[in-house]
Amino acid sequence: MFWAYAILTWLGLAALAVGLGALRVLLLQPLAGEGVAHVLGTLAGCALFLGVIHWFVGRFFPRADLRSPRTRVRLALLGLFWTILTIAFEFGFGRYVRGLSWQILLADYNLLAGRLWVLVLLTLYFGPRLAAWAIARRKR
């Protein structure tokens, strides 16, 4: 059941990302330009993702013992799962639905060009462990 909820939560994260992307392009980009809009949109997305991840981890790991190898492995697998789903969606949808070239798809991974997409992936990957740490710390 855990993994079914993980998939549903990821679908919610994907819908949130699509909605944020639309808002960024329609509202923020005309006001601030593409570069600034990309940075602000990415940071806002990461913050919202962390909120959702914190909710999920609090629901399924309410008393997470971070010293437990089982808990650490499950949190790491959850982050890896969400990261892989996101990469598969990004490349699959971008390439085969939108028809974007590999060059355009890979451009969002270029930190030197100011593209911060990798922060979203890092948020998804490390987010479950960070949320569990925050929850455990708050309960002390």
| pLDDT per position as a tens digit, 77-130 | 999 999 999 999 999 999 999 999 999 999 988 988 889 999 999 999 999 999
Residue 117 lies in a domain: yes
Residue 98 lies in a domain: yes
Residue 69 lies in a domain: no
pLDDT of residue 140 exceeding 70, the answer is no
Residue 68 lies in a domain: no
Residue 10 lies in a domain: yes
Instruction: Note the pLDDT of residue 28.
Output: 95
* Domain assignment of residue 113, given as a range: 2-54+80-125
- How many domains would you assign to the chain? 1
Instruction: Note the pLDDT of residue 65.
Output: 76
Residue 74 lies in a domain: no
Q: Which residues of 61-98 are buried (b: 16+ CB within 10 A; e: fewer)?
A: beebeeeeeebeebbeebbebbbebbeeebeeebeeee
Sequence-ordered list of residues with C-beta below 8 angstroms from that of 9, at least 6 positions apart, any chain: 52, 56
Residue 28 lies in a domain: yes
Residue 67 lies in a domain: no
Cα 35 from Cα 46, distance rounded (Å):
17
